[in-house]
Amino acid sequence: MTEVAARVDLSAYAAAVPDEVLARLRSAKRVLTVCHENPEADALGSALATALLVESLGGTATPVCADPMPEMYKFLPGMDRFRREPDPSIDYDLLVVVDCGELERVGPILETHKELFERLPILDIDHHASNRRFGAFDWIDPRSSATCEMATLVAWRLGVPLDSFGGMLASALAGGVIMDTGSFQHPNVTPRTMVVAAALREAGAPLSEIARRLYRSKPNTQLVLFGRVLARMGSQLDGRLVWSTLELADLVASGADSAESEGLIDLLAQSSTSEAAILFKEGTNGVTRISVRTRDGGVDATVLTGAFGGGGHARAAGATVDLPLGEARQAVLARAAELVAVVKR
């Protein structure tokens, strides 16, 4: 007799999905799903997965990202479905924005398609505690490790099998969970995260291969870029505050594109002494992007980034500082030093 493995049951966790989310997805017929610019696997995975769920309900959906698809995510099935603009032939009736703490994070399409964003009801699905609640309905769950964790529960509540679309759905969702948990190493991993991952694995998502491609397989240009940035790492307060800078010249010298800077901040955060790690990224228009990682029980990263108009999570956050690189670094490090100095271990 063939033994049948027990099915992973997400019912108890899926009860957290608001009925309003399900009602809006079920009633919509032509849906635009949008993630943030400079995308990573959680943004892309949740936008694609939501589009697939709409299609499984009989609707039409278009996943959109304002920026080109980063090379490192093209191995995930379905990434070729993304458009950079809404389909002009479709009269959309719902706009789903995923993984965006603020609406402006969708990028330039907010202005180029202003009428669409003003006319359509917005369903906002996100896991950032700093989310500004810009939707007609907002489901914000900061306890979720990733927006893809939330989307997995939506699929369960809708009755859509996780192995649908030839495994595309499970792989998209797994990519986001793996990325935003640092391959299950970050403190945002909860028992629910692990059960969701088990369900996705049972549905066929190749967790180990996705983790390898995202975290243990890099183009040589990215390795050269990492070397340049890590070589200029700075620190103060006896190493409790560490930082480095990604300059535009680094991209030219290494031959890397900006998407290949993904993962740099997590390497900085591996410092054994740091309470806070900061990566400064030089922008092309006189602004500077910062990424922040902090240790459990210490500095709240959203307090630091919030001082500069940003947000995110207590342990991982970011902001765009309206100052050139040198001035931004001085201002942010001054505030970071104040926060780190009061942490007692």
Task: Order across the sheet with 137-140: list the strands.
Answer: 60-64, 30-34, 94-98, 122-126, 137-140
Q: Do 186 and 329 have their domain in common?
A: no
Q: Say if residue 170 is in the same domain as residue 58.
A: yes
Together in a domain, 183 and 113: yes
Domain endpoint, select from 215, 246, 272 = 215
Please indicate, yes or no, whether the overall pTM of this predicted structure exceeds 0.85: yes
Reading the block at residue 182, the tokens are 């640092």
Q: Are 334 and 255 contained in the same domain?
A: yes
Does residue 309 lie in a domain region? yes
d(CA 320, CA 330): 14
In a domain, 132, yes or no: yes
Q: Are residues 82 and 176 in the same domain?
A: yes
Query: Are 184 and 55 found together in one domain?
Result: yes
Do residues 97 and 37 touch, judged by C-beta distance below 8 A? no
CB atoms under 10 Å from CB of 86, counted, come to 18
Q: Are residues 191 and 72 in the same domain?
A: yes
Q: Give the DSSP per-residue string, 128-185.
A: -TT----SSEEEE-TTSS-HHHHHHHHHHHHT--TTTGGGHHHHHHHHHHHHHTTTTT
Residue 2 lies in a domain: no
Q: What's the confidence (pLDDT) of residue 5?
A: 53
Q: Specify whether 277 is located in the same domain as 161.
A: no
Whole-number pLDDT of residue 259: 86
Residues 20, 152: one domain?
A: yes
CB atoms closer than 10 angstroms to residue 335:
14
Sign of the torsion angle spanned by Cα atoms 276, 46, 140, 33: positive
The enclosing H or E element of 43 equals helix 41-56
d(CA 234, CA 186): 24
In a domain, residue 1? The reply is no
Domain count, the chain: 2
Task: Tell me whether residue 80 is exposed, middle or buried, using C-beta atoms within 10 angstroms of its C-beta: 0 to 12, 13 to 18, 19 or more.
Answer: exposed
Q: Please give the DSSP secondary-structure letter assigned to residue 1.
A: -
Domain-terminating residue out of 215, 236, 265: 215
Could you tell me the residue range of the domain that residue 66 belongs to?
A: 11-215
Q: How far apart are CA 152 and CA 120, in angstroms?
A: 25
Number of Cβ within a 10 Å radius of residue 292: 29
Q: Is residue 176 part of a domain?
A: yes
CATH of the domain at 39: 3.90.1640.10
Asked if the structure places residue 6 within a domain, the reply is no
Together in a domain, 68 and 141: yes
- 227 vs 66: CA distance, rounded Å: 29
Q: Looking at this protein, which amino acid is placed at residue 98?
A: V
Residue 259 has a CB neighbour count (10 Å cut-off) of: 17
Asked if 175 and 245 sit in the same domain, the reply is no
The CA-CA-CA angle for residues 316, 317, 319, to 5°, reads 160
Residue-wise pLDDT tens digits, 88-126: 999 999 999 999 999 999 999 999 999 999 999 999 999
Q: Which of 260, 212, 199 is nearest to 10 (CA)?
A: 199
C-alpha span between 243 and 255 (Å, rounded): 23
Domain boundary among 215, 233, 253: 215
Clarify whether residues 227 and 201 are in a common domain: no
Angle (CA) 50-56-62 rounded to 5° is: 45
CB 289 within 8 A of CB 320: yes
**How do the pLDDT tens digits run along the chain, 345 residues long?**
344 455 899 999 999 999 999 999 999 999 999 999 999 999 999 999 999 999 999 999 999 999 999 999 999 999 999 999 999 999 999 999 999 999 999 999 999 999 999 999 999 999 999 999 999 999 999 999 999 999 999 999 999 999 999 999 999 999 999 999 999 998 899 999 999 999 999 999 999 999 999 998 999 999 999 999 999 999 999 999 999 999 999 999 999 998 899 889 999 999 999 999 999 999 988 999 999 999 999 999 999 999 999 999 899 999 999 999 999 999 999 999 999 999 998
- On whether the CB atoms of residues 310 and 278 are closer than 8 A, the answer is no
CATH code, domain with 270: 3.10.310.30
Instruction: Answer whether residue 136 is part of any domain.
Output: yes
Residue 62 lies in a domain: yes
